[in-house]
Amino acid sequence: MLTVDCKDVASIKNELLVYVSDQVAAIPTLKNHQFTLSMFDDAPVDLSIVISSIKEFLDSIGEGHNFAVISSNDVITIKSISGKSIERDPPQTNVGMFSCTHCGFITRYEVEHQNHMKMHYL
């Protein structure tokens, strides 16, 4: 399992998570100011691919020169070079919508969401 610390890029953490997990083909787990990546077969996550994916993403939004990607053991930290973090408006969420954290399934009904979540643990 590999942890990516996103304190300085918290406003783009979700977009970064999706991009990196797709590039690495890993299972993402979202935490408060970080996310973790693990492989399907408990193999180690390739650190170099994760670092290059993070750098690619930062370059694609024009922030590559403002942030350093630092690796220490199984923790990757995205650190602001200038001390500024990325500020973005939070995305508008649909009130009353429930989303599956595993596959992205969306429903308006809490009971349907709970039943769907049970399927992931069978």
Q: Average pLDDT for consecutive 10-residue bins of the chain (122 residues)?
A: 90 90 89 88 87 93 91 92 76 66 83 87 78
pTM beyond cutoff 0.75: no
Closest CA to 37 of 24, 46, 28: 28
Question: What is the spatial distance between Cα 61 and Cα 69, in angstroms, rounded to a whole number?
Answer: 15
